[in-house]
Amino acid sequence: MWQVVQKVFAQAWQQFTTQSLALLPNVLVGLLFLAIGTALALLAGRVAKFLLRRSAVERRANKIGLSSWLERAGVLSATAVLVRLVQVAFAIITAALVMYSLDAALASDLTRRFFLYLPNLVVGITIFFVGILTARVVSRSVLIGAVNRGLPAARLLATLARVGIILLSSAVALEHVGIGRAIVPSAMLILLAGVTFALALAVGLGSRDLVARWIEDQISPPTPAEADQIQHW
């Protein structure tokens, strides 16, 4: 009995060492690719930053109005975005090389699948990030606008706006990448119904006076005599 166990153990160890030794060069090459790829990504980032600064990308982006658009989305530097894109490209190439060095067949299969899936993934990620940026801009605008118009629940409104947009964009993004095609729309419907119901309750129970005042103001706005008569400028 003990001899059988020893034999099995020896065979397993031999197989492990043989396969590990066979795979070791691939792992080492993979690690080498990873190290070189990381270094190159960092270096490329710095070079790109230097070149973009020299070519006055910020000024050009400002001139064509791109800066203003990015600024609204909470992105304060076109250079930073481009540098990050360069680094992401290097990271993807490095990952592919590492996979190829470990198992060419598997990597080839994964790469093929990845490229088939890539359009959906890109669109999904883009939708998600556009949603995040839009949520940030809208939330900030709602917050400032609500405070300046004297609405009592400014932060709540801003949060609702942000969460709503993020949820919507997430659902659309998931739909695009093919995850939970049936579940996501149903979940969204349930969520929206819940939010609508909660808002209806809030308006009905908690904000009757506010709504009444608002409607009153719409029907008969306060006369100028009641308003401040200061000329601010």
The residues that touch other proteins, with contacts defined as CB under 8 A, are 67, 71-72, 74, 76, 137, 140-141, 143-148, 150, 154-155, 221, 224-225, 227-233
**How far apart are CB 147 and other proteins at their closest, in Å?**
5
- Please state the three-class secondary structure of the chain as a single string: CHHHHHHHHHHHHHHHHHHHHHHHHHHHHHHHHHHHHHHHHHHHHHHHHHHHHHCCHHHHHHHCCHHHHHHHCCCCCHHHHHHHHHHHHHHHHHHHHHHHHHCHHHHHHHHHHHHHHHHHHHHHHHHHHHHHHHHHHHHHHHHHHHHHCCCCCHHHHHHHHHHHHHHHHHHHHHHHHCCCCCHHHHHHHHHHHHHHHHHHHHHHHHCHHHHHHHHHHHHCCCCCCCCCCCCCC
**How far apart are CB 90 and other proteins at their closest, in Å?**
26
* CB nearer other proteins, residue 5 or residue 230: 230
* CB nearer other proteins, residue 67 or residue 169: 67
* CB nearer other proteins, residue 76 or residue 212: 76
**How far apart are CB 23 and other proteins at their closest, in Å?**
48
* CB nearer other proteins, residue 220 or residue 229: 229
**How far apart are CB 144 and other proteins at their closest, in Å?**
5
* CB nearer other proteins, residue 3 or residue 229: 229
**How far apart are CB 88 and other proteins at their closest, in Å?**
23
